[in-house]
Amino acid sequence: MTASVYNTPVRVTVTPALDYFEKCPKCGYPAEAVSTVRTYATGRVTTELVATCGMPCGWQSTT
């Protein structure tokens, strides 16, 4: 599979999601989240919020 320039982000920015206050559904501990913003050559921008538990229970969410 060949990676196309249209499918490869030209810029990726990862910032902490400071307004994320959800709790881990597995252990109830407050979760942390980072927001990943990908900018593509076509001008398309996608934002992905990935939440992970601060405790070592391994929970992770991509909503």
- In the complex, what is the shortest distance from the CB of residue 16 to Zn ion, in angstroms, rounded to a whole number? 18
Rounded to whole angstroms, the Cα distance separating 20 from 46 reads 18
Interface pick for Zn ion out of 24, 39, 50, 51 (rule CB under 5 A): 24
The Cα angle at residue 54 between residues 37 and 36, in degrees rounded to 5? 5
DSSP-derived letter for residue 49 is: E
Q: What is the contact mask toward Zn ion in residues 33 to 62, using x (rule: CB under 5 A)?
A: --------------------x-x-x-x---
- Please, which residues bridge with residue 60 across strands? 52
The binding site for Zn ion (CB under 5 A) comprises 24, 26-27, 29, 53, 55, 57, 59
